[in-house]
Chains A and B, each alone.
Chain A
């Protein structure tokens, strides 16, 4: 019988994930620090690519170099929060589905949703990028002379959560293919999340609308950093409302929920041809 899920229970589950994360870190601190450092270097490198262009040319389109830095700080914070809560393939969900590992979750006395929410929490190894992102945001904020108020901070948190919802929903939407084609679609979440990340660091200002609009709708990379950053700087792009990212996140989350549930129903009736009794995949 499944446990009763309360806030206290969720905090306890997060604590278990944090403890496992700390155990991994302490198992071999040298390797763990290398892994954390490598992750930070990689994310800063991806973000700095566009900043170096902005610095060289004194800005990109209608954004100054400091505004681009602000946008990249936002992007780095997103990768930081992602690593903080998504270190257990719980956001790269196609891997769990494709490898037949959903079975492992089914036998736990916890609802699937609760397990997925809490299983990727990695505060000790996943928090580095968030710290770097916050530092970059403070630097950019000072250079831009931003007037920081509690309302602004609340807006920042809301936009960060909205962006995360969009990322997770898109990953789950795409990952639903793994219910039907587990081998071929095992890495489709990576394609949806990681392969597009460089594109999400592009400032879209100055580009034709034929490029901007698809990147705010079909492939929402413009919503990963560019659009929310401009809203936080008080310059909503394309004369659209500052609430557009929230609306988009809601719609894609609903679509993902419907598609994922349908896939899950298919999975529980057919099972996975990759699952073997000792838990490894074919």
Chain B
């Protein structure tokens, strides 16, 4: 376990190797997207449509989604490392490859949590955002979301192997998933044309949308946690099986 912790620590340090100043553009863009998004929801919700959520809940949902964005739709470096050849290095170490990817990813969250999420969490009351979970089950749901995120990411990496390292395409697909199907931008519950009823059962809805709806108290806890557990039970063995088979097809070059 200590080896994984050291990997995570190295990953966190690596993010700041060029100096904290080079993290600022990304952080600034996140803030500049979040603030108008909060106002967008204020404008939309003030139209008075009944959607089963209050404005306060919507703002908390959006705010928390931005604060925990890295965890809500997990993205490891696997797809990029496949095309750059870096992934081969992981096979030369006496650690599980997936374990290293997990540790490296979790470590990479630390600078953003410290430099972006924590300050914004402290500023939340000033922006009229309430950041207290409606249920302690939020933490369970978040953990299930992160676990499922790693399984889905492993499947995307396998897809990348199948598509001969087209990590650019994989990233585009992943972004599309995050935007529409995960519920991190628009709560699944708000989707029009009856899509909400169907979409809540697809696996991506068990990513960010699930813990966020538990956090604001609009979720049916038993249903949502059960769906998350079910998708974890289905997708983790599938991801491991496909990963093991895909390793034989792995082609890396570059450096």
Contacts and interface: CB of A to CB of B under 8 A. Distances in A.
B135 interface: no
Given A53-B186, A199-B32, A202-B36, A46 B179 contact: yes
Contacts of B40: 53, 60, 202-203, 207
Contacts, number: 107
Interface residues of B, number: 38
A234 B25 CA distance: 35
Given A46-B179, A204-B36, A211-B36, A52 B186 contact: yes
Interface stretch (B4-12, B112-120, B164-172, B225-233): B164-172
A96 B89 CA distance: 26
Contact of B22 (A39, A58, A184, A202): A184
A10 interface: no
Contacts of B164: 31
Given A191-B26, A199-B32, A31 B163 contact: yes
A215 B33 contact: no
Nearest to B29: A195
Interface stretch (B42-50, B141-149, B212-220, B242-250): B42-50
B192 A207 contact: no
Interface string A183-200: 111001001000110110
A280 B121 CA distance: 42
A59 B47 contact: yes
Interface string A52-78: 110111111100000000000000000
A41 interface: yes
Nearest to B178: A45
Interface of A: 31, 34-35, 38-39, 41-42, 44-46, 48-49, 52-53, 55-61, 181, 183-185, 188, 191, 195-196, 198-199, 202-208, 211, 215, 219
Contacts of B26: 191, 195
A219 B164 CA distance: 37
B8 to A, nearest CB: 23
Given A42-B172, A48-B180, A191-B26, A56 B37 contact: no
B176 interface: yes
7 residue pairs, one from A and one from B, having the closest CB atoms? A45-B176, A206-B43, A42-B172, A184-B18, A56-B192, A184-B22, A38-B169
Nearest to B174: A42
Contacts of A196: 29, 32-33
5 contacts: A42-B172, A57-B51, A58-B47, A202-B40, A211-B39
Given A42-B175, A191-B25, A199-B37, 10 more contacts: A34-B169, A38-B172, A59-B47, A60-B43, A60-B44, A184-B22, A195-B26, A199-B36, A202-B36, A204-B36
A208 B40 CA distance: 10
B207 to A, nearest CB: 15
Nearest to A207: B39
A202 B37 contact: yes
A278 to B, nearest CB: 12
Nearest to A47: B179
Interface of B: 18-19, 22, 25-26, 29, 32-33, 35-37, 39-40, 43-44, 46-47, 49, 51, 163-164, 166, 168-169, 172-173, 175-177, 179-180, 185-186, 190-193, 195
A44 B44 CA distance: 21
Given A57-B44, A211-B36, A39 B179 contact: no
Contacts of B39: 207-208, 211
B172 A61 contact: no
Contact of A207 (B19, B36, B168, B185): B36
Contacts of B33: 196, 198-199
Contacts of B186: 49, 52-53
A233 B166 CA distance: 40
Contact of B185 (A31, A49, A203): A49
A142 to B, nearest CB: 20
B191 A52 contact: yes
Contacts of A53: 40, 44, 186, 190
Contacts of A59: 47
